[in-house]
Amino acid sequence: MSLLEIKNLHVEIDGKKILNGLSLNVEKGQVAAIMGPNGSGKSTLAYVLAGKEDYDVTEGDILFDGESILDMDPDVRAAKGLFLAFQYPIEIPGVATMNFLRTALNAQRKARGEGELSTPEFLKRVREAAAKLDIDPEMLKRSVNVGFSGGEKKRAEVLQMTMFEPRLAILDETDSGLDIDALKIAADGVNRLRSPERSFLVITHYQRLLDHIVPDVVHVLSKGRIVRTGGKELALELEARGYAEYQDEAA
């Protein structure tokens, strides 16, 4: 059974159709890349999977571990192991990053019927994870994403991902706004998390992220549906030829 099964998904926002019969499976332990031109529905897919309101699913279903998650609140999905690394991480003034991590982690653990982490155990995990991502511990005292550079924000997202140990991590344009060094640090962080028990859905416009996070499979999204699926070499082909043919094909 696939970890994630998206079946004939139709999604509208404000009456405008964005996803148009999208079907896709992500296997356990698989790293799947979704590539596509601007406006093809990449971010919508990420948000719908995470359970953001304002999106109307008019047809189809999303199964996570065989169970439909369409009626689940975002926090319930999170506790089940679904994580979204945001393209534009949100700032929360006055809430220290460390505190945020701990509150969220314990909320998830609680929802799963696990006990809260002890303070020393939590601190140990955060420090280890932060060090590997080259995150200054001082940064964890600052408010969530407030005053963080683009690179710091993305690294902070990967830090959260590391702490929450999701079963499916969705990376929404994690490469956007990153220089090559920052990109490498973030990608290394993701690569460390790869395991047979964890799946990734890497959403990106450009191939360069996939040089660092090498996918098992590449899907091309256009006009709200998957129009082609191939191996990692498909990304290179897209980089060379651009998306023009897929836009025409779908039109």
The Cα 156–Cα 226 span in angstroms is 30
Residue 58 CB, nearest approach to another protein (Å): 21
Q: Which is nearer to another protein, 165 or 188 (CB)?
A: 165
Contacts (Cβ under 8 Å, ≥6 apart) of 47: 55, 84
Alpha-carbon distance values, 67 to 72, 84, 214, 219 (Å): 10, 19, 28, 23
- Alpha-helix runs per DSSP H in the chain: 42-50, 74-79, 97-111, 119-132, 150-164, 180-193, 208-212, 233-241, 244-250
Q: How far is the CB of 91 from another protein (least distance, A)?
A: 8
The two three-digit tokens of residue 56, written as one number: 């109307």
Smallest distance, another protein to C-beta of residue 76, A: 9
Nearer to another protein by Cβ, of 146 and 214: the residue is: 146
Closer by beta carbon to another protein, 25 or else 106: 106
Distance of CA 9 to the CA centre of its chain: 18
d(CA 115, CA 99): 17
Q: Which is nearer to another protein, 30 or 87 (CB)?
A: 87
The nearest distance, CB 107 to another protein, in angstroms, is: 4
C-beta separation of 109 from 116 below 8 A:
yes
Q: Closest CB to another protein among 72 and 227?
A: 72
- Pick the closer one to another protein by CB: 35 or 163: 163
| CB of 42 vs another protein, minimal distance in Å | 17
Q: How far is the CB of 175 from another protein (least distance, A)?
A: 20
170 within 8 A of 201, measured Cβ to Cβ: yes
CB 33 within 8 A of CB 219: yes
Point out which residues bind another protein (CB under 8 A). Answer: 50-54, 73-75, 77-79, 83-84, 86, 89-96, 99-100, 102-108, 111, 116, 143, 160, 164
